[in-house]
Amino acid sequence: MSFELNQEGEELLHKIRDFFERTNIENELLESNSEKFPWHIRQEAGKLNLIGLDVNKADGGMGVSALTMGYIYHECGKISVNTRELFGAGHGRLIAQYGSPEQKKKYLPPLLKGDLLVGVGLTEPDCGSDLAATETTAERVGSNYILRGIKQWVSRVEESGIFIVFAQTKPGSGVKGLTPFIVEMDNPNIEKFLIEPMGMKGWSYGGFKLHDVVIPVENRLGEEGEGFKIFNEHFTYWRVLMGIICLGAAQKAIEQAIEYAQNRFAFGGPIGRFQSVMHKISDHATLIEAARLLCFKALDLIDKGKPDVKESAMAKWLGTTVAYHAIDDAMQIHGARGYVREYGLEQRLRDVRGLMIADGTTDTLKSLIGRELLGKEIYNHMLGRVREPKSVNV
């Protein structure tokens, strides 16, 4: 099993590295007090068609493989986790994959140019991983839907021109009534609010209230009740990218730790000679490599038309967890220097910590893995949906 890039992929990765060097985005983010991602950098990426990387060529993109996107996101992580909206369509891929010809014609061109950002509205004040408990509703009235509810704990609130909002078209039916809608965020009946997060400050964070927001039927994404299917397919891909972008951040942190351990002298020699330092670096270099290969495997399965929820969940869970502990130990190796902004380690730690929650918490992902390994009956029992399973004598 090989996960090497082909020549086209290598050339694209070289182009990405050149882009980072030319725009000096790493230093710009490090020196920013707000940690906000500069919008003009995204527009520059759009001019080079780098936002359309994972959009089909027929829709104006480049149609690169999921595996190639994994390599690119790993490179992004070395710069900053906040570059996750720089290359590729992001959640705009929902429109590219599931949108009607009319929806694609309207929204994909500005998205690919870097003029439009797409957010996703899933989480609510009382609903996160349990999508069956979604309270936002979409009532069909003639040729329109009226959306009512609150989305909270979501990213890109201010920057996104549209949100893919998941709402109930059949209240009380659980995930069977979940339906996504394209909602234009300049609607006067949408009330936005901001929340200050610990990390991942490159994009605004908070939520919005939908006060009888009227949207046309044409803005429904897919058919009524297809939301859960669309969610699973999209996030099987997106979660792996989030895992591998964190591993890129960890890789950069360990590279910093190696350089520091080689050049920081204490007690008559470089601190890298101490096993307490050497073993930390060895442990994390090994774990990062293992987690990265798991991410590549999950992306390769997607390319082969065999997306696997279990592999995706494993990749994000292991990727984010390995990355967090690697960066934490890199900070420890740096001592007091690791605790200040100048070295960028504390920001990497805060950002990666956020992705242990966002897009599927570590605990939720472990439950998904357990469902695939132990079976849906036991998983449903965990959720209180079925009676006690029959015991089996062994």
Determine contact, residues 134/127, Cβ cutoff 8 Å. yes
Residue 119 β-bridge partners: 163
Measured CA distances, 249 to 20, 173, 196, 258 (Å): 15, 41, 22, 14
**112 vs 83: CA distance, rounded Å:** 16
Cα–Cα distance between 162 and 167 in angstroms, integer? Answer: 15
166-201 tens-digit pLDDT: 999 999 999 999 999 999 999 999 999 999 999 999
Q: Where are the domains of the chain?
A: 7-113, 118-225, 228-382
- For residue 67, pLDDT over 90 is answered with yes
Predicted confidence band of residue 215 (pLDDT cuts 50, 70, 90) = very high
Do 89 and 52 form a contact (C-beta atoms < 8 A)? yes
Closest CA to 243 of 321, 319, 356: 319
Listing DSSP states for 35-50 in one string gives -PPPHHHHHHHHHTT-
Model pTM score: 0.95
- The whole-angstrom distance between residue 238's C-alpha and the CA centroid of its chain comes to 5
Dihedral of the alpha carbons of 368, 372, 378, 382, in degrees to the nearest 10: 0
Tokens representing 182 are 């394209």
Average pLDDT for residues 55-72, to the nearest whole number? Answer: 96
pLDDT score at 322 = 98
CATH number 1.20.140.10 is the correct assignment for the domain at 228-382:
yes
CATH superfamily assigned to domain 118-225: Butyryl-CoA Dehydrogenase, subunit A, domain 2 (2.40.110.10)
Closest-CA residue to 38 (of 119, 114, 152, 118): 114
The whole-angstrom distance between residue 5's C-alpha and the CA centroid of its chain comes to: 22
For residues 103 and 384, give the distance between their C-alpha atoms in angstroms, rounded to a whole number. Answer: 39
Contact (Cβ atoms closer than 8 angstroms) between residue 331 and residue 349: yes
Q: Which fold has domain 7-113?
A: Butyryl-Coa Dehydrogenase, subunit A; domain 1 (1.10.540)
Q: Tokens for 263?
A: 């050049």
Quick check: 387 pLDDT over 70?
no
What pLDDT is attached to residue 386? 65
Q: Is the dihedral angle over the CA atoms 77, 82, 86, 87 positive or is it negative?
A: positive
Q: Closest Cα to residue 59, out of 89, 90, 16?
A: 89
Name the nearest CA neighbour of 228 among 134, 304, 355. Answer: 134
Indicate whether 388 pLDDT > 60.
no
112 Cβ neighbours under 8 A, 6+ residues apart = 46, 49, 51, 52, 55, 60, 61, 89
Q: CA dihedral defined by 269, 272, 275, 280, rounded to 10 degrees?
A: 160
Q: Is 248 exposed, middle or buried (0-12, 13-18, 19+ CB in 10 A)?
A: buried
Q: What's the pLDDT tens digit per position in 365-385?
A: 999 999 999 998 888 888 887
